Amino acid sequence: MQTTIGQIAEFEGIGLHSGAPARLCIHPAAAGAGIRFRRLDVAAEAADIPALWDHVVQTPLCTRLENEHGTSVSTVEHVMAALMGCGIHNALVTVDGPEVPILDGSSISFVRGILTAGLTRLDAPVLALRVLKPVEVARGAARARLSPHDALLIEFDIDFADSAIGVQKKRLNMSNGSFVRELSDSRTFCRKADIDTMLANGLARGGTLDNAVVFDGDKVLSPGGLRHADEAVRHKMLDALGDLALAGAPILGHYEGSRAGHALTNELLRVLFATPGAVEWVECDDRLAAKLPGAGVHWGEIPKVA
């Protein structure tokens, strides 16, 4: 059965790029509604933005959605990952400005809020998108690929000159509570040299050592160090799940990302839907629904974060 959140979940923080206060609420929604964002600071007729791949506009450093009126909301990937990873199929997400709060730079606060609010089962079958044949996109050394698989499998590798990051690879089947257990607490990361450049260009004005992991050569500058030795690649997988959630339904397929980012994953979805015979909608029976992200997730799977 499709699910929605059991009651309103509220979150407050700052926007990573603006540094401005930001408030977000996740509301229940009816079966078939999907995920939709609503800006509370614009006129009602221009406020709603579907959380779908064809509403993504290319921006550096995050995923931004925009509707036909030009209303946009940025940095949606972490809350989208939490919704998908907790098995939420329908929700209205309200924000009081142009950016989702960054919180601690991961999805863990959204996961806690969603599971505290609980899930409500709706009287409608879950639909999924089954990948039928491989599609791939590349930009320079970066590559993203989707190929057939009976569940959502995410595989990622990164390669950074900073020795504190270096080469990292990870592969996870996202069935059940795997996202919550393995990825939800992994924070966004950057190199100190990149922060200096971004700040000089008016970007990441809300970035701090409390909402991102900052690397400088062989050093981790953020207090408390890493939550996982491979936290960087885990966060890239978290981002990938959030961006894949913009397909509009859970994906049954094998995602492979190599040095990929938000823009490349969105380009991959565009190619997937533009390629005849590459994907089909399927109605999930109980066996198939049990393989989807978030199926049966519970509080005991939430990592303990200091």
Active site residues: 262
Q: Is 230 exposed, middle or buried (0-12, 13-18, 19+ CB in 10 A)?
A: middle
Long-range contacts from 19-22, C-beta under 8 angstroms, 24+ separation: 19/205, 19/206, 20/97, 20/99, 20/206, 21/97, 22/95, 22/96, 22/97, 22/99, 22/100, 22/101, 22/102
Strand pairing of 213-216 and 189-191?
parallel
Residue of 47, 81, 66, 5 whose CA lies nearest to 246:
81
Q: Angle 231-244/77-85 helices, nearest 10 degrees?
A: 80
Instruction: Give the SS3 label for residue 1.
Output: coil
Cβ atoms of residues 26 and 140 within 8 Å:
no
Helix (H) or strand (E) holding 237: helix 231-244
Q: Which two tokens stand for residue 184?
A: 């939800």
